[in-house]
Amino acid sequence: MIPDRHVVSAWGLLIATVLVGCSGLPSFDQQKRLVQAGDFRIHQLTPRAFVETWGQPTYTHQQFTHFFGMQDGRLIPQARMALGESPQGWETGLAAGDALFLAYADHGQYLVFLDEALVYQEAMTAEKVHAVGKTWKYESQFKTQLESLPASK
């Protein structure tokens, strides 16, 4: 039995993605230099690099999130899209997991991390950062005690 060409291509792409993903992050000092330079490389920066470079974020949030996977490696949180819409250029690829959101009003940045790696970055005005933070604060009022517990691994 000869495997379908598309199946072989899909497996090849998956293996290549895993190999690139396993290549590791830059050193912590290099990550801090990238943050200082405003070079927000997807899958190359950790939350710690931002916190140690810029200080504590104006707002933090953590929740299970669905993402649209883009061909360039970005993962766009579903929450950044209007209900029922998908990002322009999105063809296939979905991801989900416990995401960490950091919002810095003084730097105008909205950052999303999955598995301790930056997967999404968006520049926004301080006013918009504060609006997002207020939304997170409002939503947290309705979390059940079960939702507030850390996930066990």
Tens digit of pLDDT for each residue in 41-83? 999 999 999 999 999 999 999 999 999 999 888 899 998 988 8
Domain boundaries, the chain: 26-148
Helix, strand, or coil here: 113? strand
59-69: strand order across its sheet: 75-77, 59-69, 94-104, 109-114, 117-123
How much is the pLDDT for 47? 98
* Better-predicted residue by pLDDT, 19 or 54: 54
Strand ranges for the chain from DSSP E: 59-69, 75-77, 94-104, 109-114, 117-123
- pTM (2 decimals)? 0.75
In which band, very low, low, confident or very high, does the pLDDT at 147 lie, cut at 50, 70 and 90?
low
